[in-house]
Structure 1
């Protein structure tokens, strides 16, 4: 094992490289945003062409293998040993839902179904498909935010981290994903440093984007509702309030601030959802959800492996897969951290089945309501969406809801909490990944929470181009991360078998050279 002084030196190196890269990104954007955007667009196109098919196959394989493990005897494995879970099942599920859904629950749930309703996705473009425009729009949205997406964020990868950290004593860092291939050597190998750095950069980029988008969305909303000018000063004030909320939450830890914020978020979301169903177009939403789920399940494989339109895939499916894969290693750490004492079956059920179903119903409720009002009065939602983009979608839908005077501010509060729950958990995870400690120092959590806010503030200063460049950059950072995650398709089952043997669930163990023997 690595001595404490060596681990400290390694932590400083990882922090310097990852933080330095983010500073370089900001510096290049400030120096010549147009040129940097050109480079990013070229790299984005290259990554989409080269990695897109690989990501589609990996996402599918990851889900299938996770389900097989969860619903066979391996599902009885107690993650991290026979210990009592740190939190109640409700709080555990609340943290998982709010951390992983986050920006998707507020930025895309109202907008994406409407986008697909206006322009039919390639898989349903054939007039002979027999699928209605509403079902096609929801089914495509379910594909992007459903079973494949959630499974990639913390099933097989979390199993590998659990085994390496709780059973073998390795520090909780992204590099532990390579433990089955390299053994304890990964603690000191340069590949371990590289794995940590690219994982931190990817998740920081993926988190800064929603933070910046929230400031633009609330600025747009305040301008529309109150007449305040949506300028940089207003966006900076909004950003400051958001950063203060998630920094305070991150500083108090998982058992306090993060769990409390997530639980409050779930309660508020349930209240708003019930209000939409009871006072709004509830019957239309339920019918649309069931029809959309039917199409989603029926056409699951064709949608998952669709390669009909490379340009469309790059801006939709492959973009989302890159975003989720970029979150993968850090989410594996976070899920492993909060899931000790749970069974593997509980983990798979929560992450790969329950959470996607809840997410899909949430998308059907907001997106379905938007389609309902669009059908009743064409342009009422689509026009603001096309003119104002993502920030306009949620406001356009909520303004049509009954009790709009209450629903609009309530959804804006929900938006803030959703993004805050991602900011606090990712600041915690980055601090954990750098230090390798199960509970990182408070000052490290605060530092990374503030750092992401500062980078978002700089990008906002450059206008829409800075945030858009970061969005494309997210997919680029996912390329090296996907290579780190690729082996979990076979190393996840091996680690599960090792834990099953330790716990007496299986009676034979794999040959030592096939399990975790360090490379010679």
Structure 2
């Protein structure tokens, strides 16, 4: 008796689909772990040659794609604003009518994940650097003068302001919410292409490569701050306590940090991460108030208002300037590469915690409210250092020249009243910020690899510990390992930027289809 050909096809199709899913589930972790292992092995075999290769690739990637990233960041922000103020902004995303997580906890988790430790160290260091050496966006400004204050803050506002926040959590989050809640697509980077390609990438190897690229990019962007935190805390503790800053002490610090965020990651999003985020935000508010009261209050408020107005006026010019490519490589293009590399996984994290919120509230909170708060934070910490430098030249720029960017925060706090309280408090805050980032990104990576919105504690713990181990190996390999990883972030942003670039199309499509779908349902 012969079997019907169509019957054979129907019988075998589910097996083929299951086989593809099984291959897909194995391919993503294989690509990710394999690439990270190759990176670490290459660094250990020949660090000088490896670092030289990374630096060359970094410079080439930044110079080739930097100007494109500038346009991508700017267009993404304004397109998100247009969607927010349009009727599309009213659409509530997800299957529930009210947010599942309170607004304070929601904003705390988002802000702490993005700012990380860099938001503390860079907020003190970057403004003073631009104050001493004005950016190409402000030709004719003499460094170290009162006229250089607003331009210095403007440049820091650009790098940590509207454009950075928008690329991390607006159009890409909208696409993921549409794909996941309207069509059941898993929260993975490949889902960003769903409005354009439908289900084609769900079980395709191309989708696996997309996911792996995004994971590698965010892993590099997370491991770097974890490793740098250990070296920065080692430097800080040596100045404060006399404890020798060597590899052994840095590894001990790293072990403590990894242990904290690993326990938090294993406990789940509803426990450790939310608790840490609330602690971070409350601590940041307290320290911000202390800086305002103990520092040059009038100067800080006046310069923030002046600089923020100037920032709004000059944002377009600063965003697109290519006057000095060699400067852009190490500043604007580096930051844009870093944020773009983070974008898919950050969007997944935001989508995971944003169900029940409208498109408008998402965009206005993430792309407008959070950047303003961040800019004020930079104005207070950075502005305090600038004020001290204006009154006593060399008091901040001297440590900057001698000890690099990490020394600026210590120099600033050391010259304020109650410095013996402020210094350890800020070091603790920096640590908890990095811990929160490690926790949330371990959670997001585990989500993508497992394909589960609630990945098991074993998955979360594995990725949390893996990032810590890689940071430890690179610390043992020497400073060049972490520096190479920092530059590598920009290299990984190249493929990811193509994915994020397509959200300029898929984002509006997703918002429109969600709104139309909602209207159709109500009519029916």
Match of residue 427 from structure 2:
412
Instruction: Find the counterpart in structure 1 of residue 124 from structure 2.
Output: 110
Name 2:69's counterpart in structure 1: 55
Secondary structure of the residue aligned to 1:81 is coil
Question: Contact 1:110/1:367 (CA < 8 Å) preserved in 2?
Answer: yes
Q: 1:193 aligns with which of 208, 217, 221?
A: 208
Give the conservation status (yes or no) of the 8 Å contact 2:149–2:386.
Answer: yes
1:255 aligns with 2:286: no
Q: 2:7 maps to which residue?
A: none
Q: Displacement of 1:9 after TM fit?
A: 3.6
Map Cα deviations across residues 266-295 of structure 1 (whole Å, 9 max, x no partner): 000000000111122111111111111011
- Taking a change above 3 Å as real, the CA distance of residues 505 and 125 of structure 1, as seen in their structure-2 partners, is farther
The alpha-carbon deviation at position 103 of structure 1 amounts to 2.9
Alignment equivalent of 2:229, drawn from 187, 199, 214 = 214
Partner of 2:6: none
Q: Distance in 2 between matches of 1:43 and 1:505?
A: 50
1:464 CA displacement: 1.7
Partners of 1:505 and 1:367 lie apart in 2 by 51
Distance in 2 (alpha carbons) for counterparts of 1:88 and 1:272: 24
Aligned to 1:480: 495
CA contact (8 A) 1:398 1:407 kept: yes
Change (3 A) 1:507 1:255: closer
Structure 2 residue aligned with 1:76: 90
Unaligned stretches of 5+ residues in structure 2: 1-13
Q: Is the 8 A contact 1:124 1:131 kept in 2?
A: no
Q: Distance in 2 between matches of 1:98 and 1:212?
A: 18
SS in 1 for 2:116: helix
- Residue by residue over 1:333-354, the C-alpha shift from the partner in whole angstroms, topping out at 9 and shown as x without a partner, is 0010000101111100111001
Counterpart residue number, 1:336: 351
1:14 corresponds to 2:28:
yes
Instruction: Please tell me whether the aligned partners of residues 500 and 506 of structure 1 are also in contact (alpha carbons under 8 angstroms).
Output: no
Does residue 391 in structure 1 map to residue 409 in structure 2?
A: no
Where does residue 175 of structure 2 map in the other structure?
Answer: 160
Alpha-carbon offset, residue 126 of structure 1: 2.3
Paired residue total: 508
Relative to 1, partners in 2 of residues 1:109 and 1:127: Cα closer, same or farther, differing over 3 Å?
Answer: closer
Counterpart contact for 2:117–2:431, Cα < 8 Å? no
Given that residues 176 and 187 in structure 2 are in contact (C-alpha distance below 8 angstroms), is that contact kept between their aligned partners in structure 1? Answer: yes
CA change 1:506–1:101 in 2 (3 A) is farther
Note if contact 1:177-1:488 (Cα within 8 Å) is conserved in structure 2.
Answer: yes
Query: Which residue of structure 2 aligns with residue 236 of structure 1?
Result: 251
Q: Please give the per-residue CA displacement for 1:23-55, whole angstroms capped at 9, x wherever unaligned.
A: 110100000111111111111121112111110
**How far apart in 2 are the matches of 1:75 and 1:294?**
27
Quote the offset at 1:379 in angstroms: 1.5
* Regions of 4+ moved over 4 Å: 1-6, 127-131, 505-508
1:427 to 421, 442, 450: 442
User: How much has 1:125 moved relative to structure 2?
Assistant: 2.0
Is the Cα–Cα contact under 8 Å of residues 141 and 148 in structure 2 kept in the other structure?
no
Find the aligned partners of 1:258 and 1:9 in 2 and give their Cα distance. Answer: 32
Compute the TM-score of the two structures, normalised by the length of structure 1.
Answer: 0.95
Contact 1:216–1:391, Cα closer than 8 Å, also in 2? no
The farther-off stretch of 367-376 and 316-325 is: 367-376
Could you list the per-position Cα deviations for residues 305-330 of structure 1 after superposition, in whole angstroms to 9, with x for gaps in the alignment? 10100000000000000000000100
1:224 aligns with 2:242: no
Q: Which residue number in structure 1 is paired with residue 11 of structure 2?
A: none
Counterpart residue number, 1:503: 518
Deviations 1:395-445 (A, max 9, x none): 111111221010001001101001111000000000011111111111010
Q: Is this contact kept in 2: 1:69–1:493, CA < 8 A?
A: yes
CA distance in 2 between partners of 1:161 and 1:187 (Å):
13
* Residue from 66, 82, 88 that aligns with 2:80: 66
| Partner SS, residue 168 of structure 2 | coil
Residues 1:4 and 1:426: Cα distance change in structure 2 (over 3 Å): farther
CA drift at 1:6? 4.5
Tell me the C-alpha RMSD between the 2 structures: 1.8
Give CA deviations for 1:124-176 in whole Å, capped at 9, x if unaligned: 12249999200010000000000000001010001111111111011111110
